[in-house]
Copies of this chain bind each other. A is one copy, B any other.
Amino acid sequence: MIEKINVKQIDQGSIVTPKGFQVAGLHSGVKRKRNDLGVLYCEKPANVAAVYTLNKIQAAPIHVTKESIEQENKIQAVIINSGNANACTGEQGRKDAYTMRNVTAEKFQVPEHYIAVASTGIIGLEMPMDKIVPHIEKLEVGVSDTHAAQFGESILTTDTFSKATCFEAEIDGKKVSMAGVAKGSGMIEPNMGTMLGFITTDVNIESDVLQTALKEVVDQTFNCITVDGDTSTNDMVIVLASDLAGNEPLTPNHQDWAAFIELLTKTCEDLAKQIARDGEGATKLIEVEVKGAASNEDAQKVAKSIVGSSLVKTAVFGTDANWGRIIAAIGYSGADVNPETIDMAIGPMTLLKNSQPTGFSEEEATNYLQNETIEINVHLNMDEGIGKAWGCDLTYDYVRINASYRS
């Protein structure tokens, strides 16, 4: 059925393809060279949904953004800086986040609670407000590819490439589009890999409905990637819906609801996979699909356990079809497992049938593991549960990047 839904990727699309959005990005001086300040603006107060880090230590901007959204469930602009996470900065940090919100509201002449704030970068360092404040005024939003590129760069930290995607679908016979920009996971200074996602769409959908959909989709996309298992203090994914596509308000009863969910899923999944592929020091994207679990939840536990295993990650780096490590990761995943009925395949090769080695060709396996995307498929043969997870290999470069001094 998903097949029949017509959601297609727009290669030349960008964060400003959905109607009503403009962006800007520039270098304010928080970072040495690259852009470090960006803004996403909507010509009208957009309906909004957001999910935040589950880390109990949450950075100041997370608190401020929650406060803004709670008031009216509308956001018209998101101000973002990279280079400093404004986390563990106490009272001063909260003041600074409010100042960023206030100055941005002034600039766009909108109420403060229409502004969301996001930061990523070094923890425990006071925000260089002397650099940020004057530059917020200098942000000139627009819809050109240059504007989109400048914005995309302004949210990056140790990312080696900018993550962006754009899809379109038909709802009520009208063309609607959704686009996103994200920055990568890893975590905390010096690698500063907070995960941030900014998604725009022109569909007509109420904030509460959008929130429910986002939570559900994020669980199957952004929450299924792992680079090192660490969770940042600043993670945030926010969706703005401008309601300019002219469709009837979307609800689960809408005839095209499935198309919308597919649109949101494709957007989030594509960004999530780009993040996993760009994990620190990563050379390969690992995609795990689990079927036949007792439940979808169990399937996801198993998939995450496999992509999260340091031993599986190093084996993939070493192009070693080490199924012993994979089966061990399945065993300790916490999911219901029948030790006798596990099938496993790496790419085209079946390694295990009913938990027994099939006698595969090590050479063939090693060749397959040279690829940039490694697929691991597991069938537990218990029930109908399915789940996916994405990760990357563990390399010398991960150690190098993370063992290096902050200075």
Cross-chain contact A328 with B402 (CB below 8 angstroms): no
Number of chain A residues close to chain B: CB under 8 A: 61
Cross-chain contact A122 with B324 (CB below 8 angstroms): yes
Q: Given B90, B331, B394, which contacts A56 in the complex, CB threshold below 8 Å?
A: B331
Q: Does A257 contact B (CB under 8 A)?
A: no
In the bound complex, CA of A122 to CA of B394 (Å): 22
A residues 344-366 in Cβ contact with B at 8 Å: 352, 355-357, 362
Return the CB mask of A381-407 against B: 1 if under 8 Å, else 0: 000000000000011101110111111
Q: Given B88, B311, B315, B407, which contacts A324 in the complex, CB threshold below 8 Å?
A: B88
A residues 299-334 in Cβ contact with B at 8 Å: 308-311, 314-315, 317-318, 320, 322-325, 327-332
Q: Given B55, B87, B330, B406, which contacts A322 in the complex, CB threshold below 8 Å?
A: B406
In the bound complex, CA of A279 to CA of B405 (Å): 23
Asked whether A230 and B406 contact (CB < 8 A) given A187-B311, A189-B324, A324-B188, the answer is no
Residues of B within 8 A of A128 (CB): none
Cross-chain contact B403 with A187 (CB below 8 angstroms): no
Asked whether A339 and B54 contact (CB < 8 A) given A188-B311, A399-B399, A403-B320, the answer is no
Cross-chain contact A55 with B332 (CB below 8 angstroms): yes
Cross-chain contact B323 with A124 (CB below 8 angstroms): yes
Q: Does A57 contact B (CB under 8 A)?
A: yes
Cross-chain contact A356 with B88 (CB below 8 angstroms): yes
Cross-chain contact A232 with B339 (CB below 8 angstroms): no
Q: Does A58 contact B (CB under 8 A)?
A: yes
Asked whether A187 and B402 contact (CB < 8 A) given A310-B229, A339-B58, A357-B88, the answer is no
Cross-chain contact B405 with A318 (CB below 8 angstroms): yes
In the bound complex, CA of A325 to CA of B309 (Å): 20
Main DSSP-derived SS at the A contact region: loop
Closest to A394 in B: B399
Cross-chain contact B399 with A325 (CB below 8 angstroms): no
Residues of B within 8 A of A187 (CB): 311, 325, 328
In the bound complex, CA of A318 to CA of B187 (Å): 16
A292: min CB distance to chain B, Å = 15
Asked whether A355 and B88 contact (CB < 8 A) given A57-B339, A189-B324, the answer is yes
Residues of B within 8 A of A57 (CB): 327-328, 330-331, 337, 339, 355
In the bound complex, CA of A124 to CA of B356 (Å): 7
Cross-chain contact B54 with A402 (CB below 8 angstroms): no
Instruction: Pick from A58, A189, A230 the residue with the most CB of B within 10 Å.
Output: A230
In the bound complex, CA of A285 to CA of B235 (Å): 31
Asked whether A328 and B405 contact (CB < 8 A) given A90-B356, A310-B310, A356-B90, the answer is no
Q: Does A228 contact B (CB under 8 A)?
A: yes
Residues of B within 8 A of A188 (CB): 311, 322, 324-325, 328
Cross-chain contact A318 with B402 (CB below 8 angstroms): yes
Cross-chain contact A230 with B124 (CB below 8 angstroms): no
A selection of 13 A-B contacts at a CB cut-off of 8 Å is A56-B337, A88-B357, A122-B324, A124-B323, A188-B322, A188-B324, A230-B325, A230-B329, A310-B402, A314-B399, A314-B403, A396-B399, A398-B399
Q: Shortest 5 CB-CB distances between A and B: which pairs?
A: A318-B403, A57-B331, A123-B324, A314-B402, A55-B331
